[in-house]
A and B are shown apart, each in its own frame.
Chain A
Amino acid sequence: MRRLPKKDIVIVGLGWAGSIVARQLAETGLDILCLERGPWRDTARDFNISTVTDELRFDKRQALMVQPAQAGITVRNTVSETALPMRQWGSFHPGNGVGGAGLHWAGITWRFTPEIFRQRSHLVERYGESAIPAELTVQDWGLTYDELEPHYDAFDKLAGVSGRAGNLKGEIREGGNPFEGPRQNDYPLPPMVQTHGPKLFAKAAAELGYHPFPSPSALPSEPYTNSLGLKMGPCTYCGFCTNYGCANYSKASALICVVPWLLLQPNIEIRVNSEVVRIEKDGTGRRATGVVYLDGAGEELFQPADLVAVCGFQLENVRLMLLSGVGQPYDPATGTGVTGRNYAYQTPNSVTGFFENVAFNPFIGSGAAGGALDDLNNDNFDHAGLGFFGGGSTRVIPIGGAPISQRHVPSGTPRWGAKWKEETTRWYQATMSVGCEASSFSTPGNYLSLDPTYKDRIGRPLLRMTFDWPENDRRMSQHVVSKCTDIVRAMGAKHWEPAPIKGAWNTSPYQSSHVVGGFVMGADPSTSATNKYLQSWDVPNLFVVGAQAFPQNPGYNPTGTVCALAGWAGAAIRDLYLKSPGPLAPT
C-alpha cells in the first residue's frame, strides 16, 4: 500500500460536520486534508434550475444518496432475526458527495432544549428514578445547553436561519417558541412567509391553547451574506427541498455556506471520490496513525496524520469505528461495550386532514416554511401517569406539490384507474397534514453491529441495524397523534386519517433520515464512546462528529444540533487539544 506524505489533520467526510470542523481548524494554519467518499458537487452544474426539480431522478431514483451497492446496511427488528440487506433506501436517506446528506435535507433547524442534554437527570429529578422504564437506556449527554449555545448561534449565522426567537436571553417573546432555551441572539433572518395551511394550523392551535410559531428554517427568507462572507439567495418556495439540491443558492448546505470559503484556504486540501475504509492505529491501539482510503482509481492509500476527525453520516461513522476496532463493540446479551450502543431513530407521526372548499396551493412550499408548536414535545407537558416519556415537535410544513409523490387520497381509494384520478384531482388542493416528529428513546436491544454475512464490494462487513419501536415510544405516538387529530379537527377538516406508528419498524416507507446514536457522547466511559468533546475515550487523537453522538433522540430534526456539535468539537480541537494533545476529559 502506498504511503502518502503526512498531514497534520485528516477530516473524513465533507458534509455539514466535516466542513464546519475544517472551518474551525482553518486558522490554525495546520495542513488539513478533507476526504470525501462521493463526488464533487456544484450548484450550477448539478442543480441546474432546469433539471433540479426532476422528481424521478432525485426523489424516486435517489440521485444524491449513496448507493446501497457502495455502502449499504442490513436490518432486522430483533436479535432473534437474521438481518437482510436494504437494496434500496426507504426509511432513511444517507447522502454522498460534497455537502453530504445536508445537500438534500429539508432545512428545519432546531436547537435542542436545555433539559434534553441532561435527559436522565431531568427525568429522575422530576419523576424519580423508579419512574424510568427499564427498557430505556436513557442518559445524559455530558455537556450542557449553555456550553453549546455559542455554536448554535454560530450555525444560525453560517446557515442564514430564519425564524423568531421565543426566548431571548431569558425573556419569553410573543410569537416565538416559548419552550426553547435562552438564545443570546435572535435569528439572523425573519421567519419565512406562512402559506394558508400553516396559517390555519396556527389559528387552530392557538384556539386550543397551544403556542404556535414559525418553523425555524435554513432556507433564507431574505437575501443573506453569511458569517464567512458567502452569499445566499432568498427561498422561492419552489417546493423541491427534501431529496433535492437547491438551484438558487437558497437552502443552506456545506456546499454554499462553507466549502467555497474552504477552497480559498491555502492550508486546506479536498480530495473527492476518496472512501476511507478504516482508521489505522499504532501498536498501543491508543493512537490513530492515519486513515486508509480508496481513491477514485480504486487504489488503496495510507494517509498518515496526527489527528483524525471522522465526520461522516451517522451510519458510516459507527461502521468505521466498528471496522477500525475503536471502542469495545456493544453486546446486547451483556449490555457491555459502547460501539454500536444506544442506536435510536425518530418516531414519525402524522394526521392527514381532508378539507372542503379550500385551495391550499401545495405547489407553493419548502422543506421548512410552515408553522410549529412545541407544547407536545420533550417534558413540556406533565408525563406523570401517562406511561411514557418524550413527545415531538408538531408542525404543518407543506413541502411542495411534486407531481409523482404529492397525491393524497383517502384510504380505500383505488390505487389506479378513473376513481383514483378523480380522487387525486379532488384532494390535491384540499389536503393538509399535521406532523409530529417525535422522540426515540434508546433501549438495550436497539443497536448497531457488523453483519456476519453480508459484505461490501471490497469485502468489508456491512453495518447491521437491529431496531424496533420501544413500548415507551408506541404509547407516546398514540398520545401525540390524538392531540394532532384535535388540531386537524379544529382546522376544519371534514375527514382525517391519523397515522401513529403501528407494528414493527418497517424499512420501506420514508420516515426520516434522523438516525442517531451508536457512538455516543457522555461523561461515563462505560456507557459512552466519546467524551463531551466528541473525542474517543480510547483513541484521544480521534474525534467522531455527527448524530452518532446523540445518546437518544428528542423530538426534533437533528441537523442544527449536529452542526452545533461540529462547531463545539472543532473549537475543542483548536483551543484545547492542539495546545495540549491528550485526553480532554477525565476517564
Chain B
Amino acid sequence: MTHAFSPISVAAGFAALILSVPTASAQQTYERFGFAQTERGRYIAILGDCAACHTAPGGAPLAGGLRFETPVGAIISSNITPDRENGIGKMTLKEFDAAMREGIGQGGKRLYPAMPYPAFSNMTDEDIADLYAWIMAQQPAPAQINSNELKFPFDIRTGMIAWNMINFKPDAFKPDPAQSAEWNRGGYIVEGPGHCGACHSGKTITMGDKSSEHLTGAIIENWVAPNITGDAEAGLGAWEEQDIIAYLKTGANRFDIASGGMMDVIRHSSRMWTDGDLKAVAVYLKSQPGRSGKPLAAALPETDMRMQAGARIYKDRCSACHFDNGEGYPGLFPSLAGAGSVNAEEPTSVLHVVLAGSRAVATPAAPTGPAMPSLGWALSDNDIANVVTYVRNAFGNTAAPVSTEQVATARAALQP
C-alpha cells in the first residue's frame, strides 16, 4: 500500500500524544455530545480521511499501527481511539484542538507534520469540536502503538519548533466574499480537512509547502501527485467539473483511474463526500491558477531516433490496451493522451507504472479495479526510456524526453 506522505511527513501524527504525560483528568464520555454533533463529526472524519492513516490492515478502526517506511526511518501511526491508556481518551477538547491546529500534543510535545496540522489549522472551531465528539464516541481499542523509529536528528521532536517557525502559520481559512459560497466551501475542504496540499503541493527544502507551487504537484514515494490546479496543460484543465466529481466519487472518469496514494483517499474518504461538496471542490480546483511562466517543452519530432524506437515498443507492448491513439478505454485503460502523470515535468509516475505496474482502485460505482502489468523485467532501461519518451511526445503530449539514466535511477528506487 502506498501512503501519500512527504518524506518528513513521515511523522507520527498523534504518536506524540500517547507518549505525553496526561494532563488534568478530563471526564470525556460521548453521552454529552448528542447524535447531531457526532454525526457531523463523522463526516468531518471522512473529509479528513483519518481512517486511511490511523487504521492498520485488519486492525481495529482508528487504532493506528500503520507503518510508513521513510528515508529517515520508520514511523507508525498512532491509536486515536478514545482508549484512555493507549489512545487519546484522556485528551480535552482544548488539547485535541492544539494537536489538530497547532501541532502541539499533550505536555507540549511537538507533532511531526505527517499529521497535516498546517492544513487542519484552517478548520473551524465547530468542525474541530464535532470531530472531537465523534472520535470520543468511537469504540476504544487497546492497541499499544510503538512510536516512531526515526533516525537522529529527526527523532528529536523539538526540532519541529524550528520547522514550525519557518513553515507554519496557524491560520483559519478566510472565505473570499468575491467568490460564491460553493467556491468557498470547496476552498475550505481543499485547504482544510481535505489537506490536498499535503501531497499535491510543491515542497521547500525543509519540506514545508511552497506557496508558489500550491497544488501544482509534487513527488511522493516514487509517484507524482499531479498538478490539480485548473492549469490548461499541466493541471486539470481538460477535466470538466463532472470529471473531477466522477474521479473523486467513483475512482474513475473518462480519462483516468485512481491508483497510488489516491486509492486510499477515494476508498476511505472522497467517495463518501456529499454531491455538494464534490462539486464545490471541483469548482475550487478548477479556479486555481497553474504554474504560470513555465514554457512547455516542444514535442520531439517523429524522426527522432528515440521516437522511432519508442513507437515500435509502444505498438508491441502498450497498444493492445491503450490503443494506437493512446486514448485507452475509460474506466479500464487510462488515456495517455493529455494525462497529467504522463506529461508531468518529472516522469516519476509513468516510470513507476511501466517498471513496477500499478493497480487501480475498485469502488462499488467503478468495480473493475484494473491493473497495469509490470514491464520492468521485460524491457531494458534503454527500451523504457524510448517508449516513455515516445508516450510523452505522442498523442498531443509534450514533455521532456527521458534518459536511460533516469530509468536506471527509478528502477533502483523501486527495488524493495
Contacts and interface: CB of A to CB of B under 8 A. Distances in A.
Interface of A: 42-45, 47-51, 223, 225, 228-234, 236, 238, 247-249, 256, 260-261, 263-264
Given A49-B317, A236-B320, A261 B367 contact: yes
A228 B369 CA distance: 13
8 contacts: A43-B373, A47-B373, A48-B378, A49-B317, A50-B317, A50-B375, A223-B329, A260-B367
Contacts of B321: 49, 233, 247-249
B369 A248 contact: no
Contacts of B142: none
Chain B interface category by residue count: 20 to 34
B23 interface: no
A43 B371 contact: yes
Interface string B153-178: 00000000000000000000000000
B188 to A, nearest CB: 31
A141 B370 CA distance: 39
A44 B373 contact: yes
A44 B317 contact: no
Contacts of B359: 44
A248 B321 CA distance: 6
Contacts of A229: 365-368
Contacts of B408: none
B56 interface: no
Given A49-B317, A49-B373, A231-B329, 19 more contacts: A42-B371, A43-B371, A44-B357, A44-B370, A45-B371, A48-B374, A49-B375, A50-B377, A50-B379, A223-B329, A225-B331, A229-B366, A229-B367, A229-B368, A249-B332, A249-B370, A260-B362, A260-B369, A264-B367
Contacts of B362: 260, 263-264
For A44, A232, A260, which residue has the most chain B Cβ atoms within 10 angstroms?
A44
B134 interface: no
B183 interface: no
B333 interface: yes
Nearest to B376: A50
Interface in B317-335: 317, 320-321, 329, 331-333
Contacts of B317: 49-50
A452 B367 CA distance: 48
A-B pairs with the 8 shortest C-beta distances?
Answer: A44-B371, A231-B332, A48-B373, A50-B378, A44-B373, A223-B329, A231-B368, A236-B320
A51 B378 CA distance: 9
Contacts of B370: 43-44, 231, 249
A231 B332 CA distance: 6
B364 interface: yes
Interface string B373-404: 11101110000000000000000000000000
Contacts of B374: 44, 48
Contacts of A50: 317, 373, 375, 377-379
Interface in B254-304: none
A248 B329 CA distance: 11
Contacts of A248: 320-321, 333
A44 B375 CA distance: 10
A296 B371 CA distance: 26
B8 interface: no
Nearest to B365: A229
B98 interface: no
For B329, B362, B374, B378, which residue has the most chain A Cβ atoms within 10 angstroms?
B329
A403 to B, nearest CB: 16
B320 A238 contact: yes
Nearest to A222: B329
A44 B367 contact: no
Contacts of A232: 332
Nearest to A225: B331
Given A247-B320, A260-B368, A233 B333 contact: yes
Nearest to A235: B320
Contacts of B238: none
Nearest to A48: B373
B372 interface: yes
Interface string B329-368: 1011100000000000000000000000101001111111
A45 B358 CA distance: 10
Given A48-B373, A49-B320, A248-B321, A223 B364 contact: no
Given A229-B365, A248-B320, A223 B332 contact: yes
A45 B331 contact: no
A228 B367 contact: yes
A452 B332 CA distance: 51
A55 B378 CA distance: 17
Contacts of B364: 264
Contacts of A231: 329, 331-332, 368, 370
Nearest to A44: B371
Nearest to A229: B367
A238 B316 CA distance: 11
A260 B333 CA distance: 16
Contacts of B357: 44-45
A239 to B, nearest CB: 12
Interface in B32-83: none
Contacts of A49: 317, 320-321, 373, 375
B367 to A, nearest CB: 5
A50 to B, nearest CB: 4
A91 to B, nearest CB: 32
Contact of B373 (A45, A225, A238, A256): A45
B371 A230 contact: no
Contacts of B329: 223, 231, 233-234
Nearest to A250: B320
A89 B380 CA distance: 37
B373 A230 contact: no
Contacts of B371: 42-45
B9 to A, nearest CB: 30
B8 to A, nearest CB: 33
A364 B375 CA distance: 24
Nearest to B362: A260
A234 B319 CA distance: 12
For A45, A48, A256, which residue has the most chain B Cβ atoms within 10 angstroms?
A48
Contacts of A233: 320-321, 329, 332-333
Contacts of A47: 373
Contacts of A247: 320-321, 373
A247 B368 CA distance: 15
A231 B365 CA distance: 12
Given A230-B367, A247-B320, A264-B362, A44 B372 contact: yes
For B357, B366, B371, B373, which residue has the most chain A Cβ atoms within 10 angstroms?
B373
Nearest to A49: B373
Contacts of B379: 50
A230 B375 contact: no
A242 B304 CA distance: 40
A233 B362 CA distance: 17
A263 B321 CA distance: 24
A47 B373 CA distance: 8
A402 B359 CA distance: 30
B230 to A, nearest CB: 29
Contacts of A45: 357, 371, 373
Nearest to A238: B320
A258 to B, nearest CB: 10
A234 B321 CA distance: 8
